[in-house]
Amino acid sequence: MATATQTKWAIDTTHSEVQFKVKHLVISTVTGSFKKFSGEVVSESDDFNNAAVTLSIDVDSIDTNQADRDGHLKSDDFFSAAQHATISFSGVLDKIGSDYKLNGELTIRGVSKAVSLDVDFGGVAKDPWGNVKAGFELNGKVNRKDFGLTWNALTEAGGMVVGEDVKLHMNIELTKVA
């Protein structure tokens, strides 16, 4: 009986992005991203079914295009970056018909919760230098309070300044490494 060959893929951070969106004052949306992250995918098939996925995000690399807000997000009110320098994810990519789901455990601020992300598999291609690449777009939603990010303030009308639901969006390009 032959054993399946494992293929390792690394995130090509030059061609990938990790973003989030959250409501501000209930009336608008703030978009942010993390500029530094790394990860690996280990697959046993060309379609990535049952592939093991790991991701590590540098909390200090948060960027919402506003330095004061970024500083507040790194503080103890939110991510507590000095004590919890990374956000991590470990999970499995499952193919369900022609669709994909990424199910796993997301750890933020030392709190781990199960999450499920919708995945669009863009396919596999060779770049002009002969590197084998694979592309994915991932979307999902988490409640920030589930991870201990509970800071908020009320507007004079009684609304919340920061929404609880955070939309996640990632475009990930992988490079085959072995």
Q: What is the pLDDT of residue 69?
A: 87
Residue with more model confidence, 26 or 19? 19
73, part of any domain: yes
Number of domains in the chain: 1
Q: How far apart are CA 6 and CA 92, in angstroms?
A: 14
49, part of any domain: yes
84, part of any domain: yes
Tokens of 25: 């004052």
79-113 tens-digit pLDDT: 999 999 999 999 999 999 889 999 999 999 999 99
User: Which residues, other chains included, contact 124 with Cβ-Cβ below 8 Å and sequence gap of 6+?
Assistant: 46, 132, 133, 134
150, part of any domain: yes
What is the reported pTM?
A: 0.88
Residue range(s) defining the domain that contains residue 49: 7-176
1, part of any domain: no
Residue with more model confidence, 176 or 5? 176
Q: What is the pLDDT of residue 9?
A: 97
Q: What is the pLDDT of residue 156?
A: 52
15, part of any domain: yes
